[in-house]
Amino acid sequence: MSELPFAATTPVSVARVGLRARDAESLAAYYRKVVGLQELSRADGAITLGAANRPLFVIEADPAAKPDDPRSAGLFHTAFLLPSRADLGRWINHAIANKIAIEGASDHLVSEALYLTDPEGNGIEIYADRQPRDWKWNGDKIAMATERLNIPSVVAEVPAGDAGWQGAPDNSIIGHVHLRVGRPEEAEAWWNKEFGFDTVAKYGGAAVFLSSGGYHHHIGANAWQSAGAGRRDPARSGLAWVEMRSNNVTDETAREDPWGTVIRTVPGKA
């Protein structure tokens, strides 16, 4: 049994992500087949998916929704964190066997990741972290990069005779959420104030990365496609809400970031 990833053990972490979908059934089928999530429940037009009975992802049906606009504020990607490098290798073999279209594969120094996009345009990252003791910090800023992923090295972590990918394993979580915003500096100030997050990295004025408890990032915010974007149109598909888990609260709350993205908070440990 793997351990719960470090990302979930910090004072605040990502609990769940909600999407508004034009075709919820097809989208849920995609996340079951491609990401390996299990359907856990259905209620009021929403399909809850997760890993080993841990709810992670909620797809809310809205057939009348307009398509998401990638130039607006919203979701850049949901990042599904697998417990081990071998799990990432199993997922890569699964992607190869099922001819799953991959749009990127990167070594970020702190993690190794692959990128894809679901049928409604929502970004997805599948990743595994390197050991936190091996991350490099320069004061309070962490060293991250985007280098070519050594896929054969990751796949070599899968033991000979292994049963292979059996769906998202126990202790898979959403490690981070990366948002499209109009102004990264405004997102930084909001997450600093509302959640006490630390700013751990910046890419010029175009992207900022924030975290709780020394993680490399629980939230990313960029304006690569969305510079100057205003409030999100609630009639569009895509990101519905992000739910954070916090040791620091006793009640469930909900608030909106400067672009109208709903950020929920729930109490308790992961």
Per-residue pLDDT, averaged over 130-147, amounts to 97
- The answer to whether residue 1 sits within a structural domain is no
* Spatial distance between the Cα atoms of 238 and 59, rounded to a whole number of angstroms: 10
- The answer to whether residue 188 sits within a structural domain is yes
Would you tell me how many other CB atoms lie within 10 Å of the CB of residue 6? 18
* Spatial distance between the Cα atoms of 91 and 40, rounded to a whole number of angstroms: 21
Rounded to a whole number of angstroms, the distance between the first and last alpha carbons of the chain is 16
Tell me the whole-structure pTM to 2 decimals. 0.97
Give the pLDDT confidence of 212-270 residue by residue, as tens digits. Answer: 999 999 999 999 999 999 999 999 999 999 999 999 899 999 999 999 999 999 998 76
Q: How far is CA 11 from CA 115, 129, 135, 139, in A?
A: 27, 18, 19, 20
Averaged confidence pLDDT in the chain: 97
Token representation of residue 177 = 């959420």
pLDDT greater than 90 at residue 150: yes
pLDDT greater than 60 at residue 1: no
8 A C-beta contact, residue 21 and residue 62: yes
Give the pLDDT confidence of 19-70 residue by residue, as tens digits. Answer: 999 999 999 999 999 999 999 999 999 999 999 999 999 999 999 999 999 9
CATH of the domain at 174: 3.10.180.10
pLDDT greater than 70 at residue 143: yes
* Spatial distance between the Cα atoms of 197 and 47, rounded to a whole number of angstroms: 30
Give the pLDDT confidence of 73-97 residue by residue, as tens digits. Answer: 999 999 999 999 999 999 999 999 9
Residue-wise over 106-120: b if at least 16 C-beta within 10 A, else e? Answer: bbbbbbbbbbbebeb
Domain housing 159: 6-267
- The answer to whether residue 75 sits within a structural domain is yes
What's the pLDDT score for residue 270? 67
Torsion angles phi and psi, residue 57, rounded to 5: -145, 130
The secondary structure of residue 3, as a DSSP letter, is P
- The answer to whether residue 258 sits within a structural domain is yes
pLDDT greater than 80 at residue 2: no
Q: How many domains does the chain have?
A: 1
